[in-house]
Structure 1
Amino acid sequence: MDEKKLIEQKIFNDTSSYRDIMNIPYHQSKRHLPMNQLDRAFQFAPFGALEGFNDLIKEKTDLYSRKKFTTGADDKIIILQLKYLQKHPLKVDVNYFNDNSGYYEHLKGFLQTIDWKKGRANFDEVSVVILNIRSIKLLNESNF
């Protein structure tokens, strides 16, 4: 047995410290009736709020399975491009990952505003998460 298993066995299987109370008979209260099983189960009802949480995580995981994460160098380029577009209003083609559909989409338009705190860039009528942008290309020029 490895050392970890020995420690676990000693911690969880060693009942020697409880020998003085092991054989004491159970004391039934005369003031309070025993709690029925349904009421006892209701004590754990707050955990019921997590009931559909695993399904939600699986759904989001399925959506993000198609996402290709950018490198740090790509992120820096995209941020520089966004800063440039703040000062120079140019029409661009943005390739970004749509959180709702789980696919990459293209958006053609002008950069309106950037909320750096929320990490979002607003193009015409669409708000895009900056980290979901894969590329930004000018529509009129080949270099950017």
Structure 2
Amino acid sequence: MDEKKLIEQKIFNNTDDYQDIMAIPYHHSKRHLPMNQLDRAFQFAPFGALEGFSDLIQQKTKDYARKKYLNSTEEDKIKRQLEYLTNHPRKVDISYFNDESGYYEHLKGYLQKLDWKKGRAEFEDTSIVILNIRLIQLLNNNDSPKKGS
């Protein structure tokens, strides 16, 4: 017999430590029905709650594959534009990556609130992650993008 089997046999077949409780009869509860075997097995599957989690991660990975990340110069430009909009309310056309859909979307509106701690810009009824903003264009009165912004 190999060494591993000898160790297993010594560990799992030695019941000397449990002789005092081996003869005690099993007590069946009068208040609770016995748990069925399937439910009993589930309590020993701690990662069962994470079932489907890897599929969700794969889907989000596919969604984020479409995202274009800005370089530091472009990020600084977006931050300066947002700072400008906090002091000079103007209607803008925002191109941003939507985390929910996994695609770029446009939003036309006015900046309501800028929260640097949370990294979010609030527009009327939409909150956008600042790092997801790709382009900010000022709009004229007739809602067409203004050149040079």
TM-score (norm 1): 0.73
SS in 2 for 1:47: helix
SS for the counterpart of 2:112 is strand
Matching residue within 14, 17, 20 for 1:27? 14
Is the radius of gyration larger for structure 1 or structure 2?
2
User: Who is 1:97 aligned against?
Assistant: 97
Over aligned residue pairs, what C-alpha RMSD do you find? 2.7
Counterpart Cα distance in 1 of 2:77 and 2:99: 22
Q: How far is the alpha carbon of 1:45 from its aligned partner?
A: 2.2
Mapping 1:1-144, distance limit 5 Å: 24=10, 26-28=13-15, 29-30=18-19, 31=21, 41-42=41-42, 44-140=44-140, 141-144=146-149
Counterpart Cα distance in 1 of 2:39 and 2:94: 56
For structure 2, which runs of at least 5 residues remain unmatched after alignment? 24-36, 141-145
Q: Separation in 2 of the partners of 1:127 and 1:108?
A: 13
Identity %, equivalent residues? 58
Q: Secondary structure at the match of 2:78?
A: helix
For structure 1, the 5+ residue unaligned runs are 1-14
Structure 1 segments, 4+ long, off by >6 Å, are: 37-40
Q: Which moved more, 1:129-138 or 1:24-33?
A: 24-33
Question: Could you tell me how far apart the structure 2 residues matched to 1:45 and 1:23 are?
Answer: 26
User: Which amino acid letter does the alignment assign opposite residue 142 of structure 1?
Assistant: K
List per-residue Cα deviations over 1:83-141 (Å, max 9, x = no partner): 01000001111110111111111111111111111111011221111110001011133
Counterpart AA for 2:51: E
